[in-house]
Structure 1
Amino acid sequence: MPVETDAAIRDILEDETIAVVGCSSTPGKAAHDVPSYLLGQGYEIVPVNPFADEVFGRETVDSLADVEDEIDVVCVFRPSEEVQGIVGDALERDDVDSIWTQLGIRDDEAVARAEANGRAVVQDRCMKVEHRRLIA
């Protein structure tokens, strides 16, 4: 079952490095504005987007496998049908503690798989909204 308590969400929001899968270079899109907000709050943002060269002045990577730095949280801005593969990529890494799918993005089977592998999962919630509500 995905993380739903304020205490558990707050614990995830205390992590520092967030890989944003589907991070957008287009202002006005949630996949741009949410990570931009998080960057402004002091988080280390790693943009994952095979179709952009850079976002926020940071070089993008094509996939989670290409991220050289340690990742605490994988934040997903991709359609629900892609979550299973993204979770698989996250589970290949030993450093990912949590997976967070943004509003409207759900895959209960992927959540169960991630949790069975010891990862916390927040599903169908906006990281910016939760940060403002619990931390800011």
Structure 2
Amino acid sequence: MPVETTAELEAILGYETIAVVGCSSTPGKAAHDVPKYLLEHGYDVIPVNPFADEIFGREVYDSLADVELRLDVVCIFRPSDEVSEIVDAALERDDVRVIWTQQGIRDDEAAARAEDAGRDVVQDKCMKVQHRQLVA
């Protein structure tokens, strides 16, 4: 079952390192503004986008496989039909604890695979909104 309870969400929001797949360099887009908010609130945001070199003054990685840093959460800002491939890439890593798909994004089959592999899954929720409601 995907994470739904307040206690589970609060625990996840306690993790520090978040890879943002689909992070955007365009202000005004949710894929830019949400990670910027997270960065401003103390999270170590790792942008993943094959079409950018730098976002927020940080190095951008082409894929999750290219990230050599330890990751706690993979936050997905890509269309639902791309989630499965991203989840598979996250599952190839031993460090990822949580797969989080932003509001309007979900893939129940990929979520079930992630849960079967021992990962927590949050679907169709905005990380910024949850942080404001539960932590800030």
What's the TM-score once normalised by structure 2's chain length? 0.99
1:118 is matched with: 118
- Runs of 5+ unmatched residues, structure 1: none
Residue in 2 that maps onto 1:71: 71
User: What amino acid does structure 2 have at the position aligned with 1:28?
Assistant: G
Matched-pair identity in %: 74
CA-to-aligned-CA distance 1:50-106 (integer Å, 9 cap, x gap)? 000110000100000000100000000000000000000000000000010000001
- Give the distance between the partners of 2:73 and 2:106, measured in 1 at CA: 17
Q: Distance in 2 between matches of 1:83 and 1:4?
A: 19
Unaligned runs of 5+ in 2: none
- Give the partner amino acid of 1:124: D
Equivalent-residue separation in structure 2 for 1:59 and 1:43 (angstroms): 15
- Give the residue type in structure 2 aligned to 1:7: A
Q: CA RMSD in A?
A: 0.3
**Partners in 2 of 1:20 and 1:13 — Cα distance?**
14
1:12 and 2:27 equivalent? no
The alignment covers a number of residue pairs equal to 136
Instruction: After TM superposition, give the deviation of residue 48 of structure 1 in Å.
Output: 0.0
**C-alpha distance in structure 2 between counterparts of 1:24 and 1:104, whole Å:** 17
- The residue that corresponds to 2:94 in the other structure is 94
Secondary structure of the corresponding residue to residue 121 of structure 2 = strand
User: Normalising by the residue count of structure 1, what TM-score does the alignment of the two structures yield?
Assistant: 0.99
Q: For residue 38 of structure 2, what is the amino acid of its counterpart?
A: L
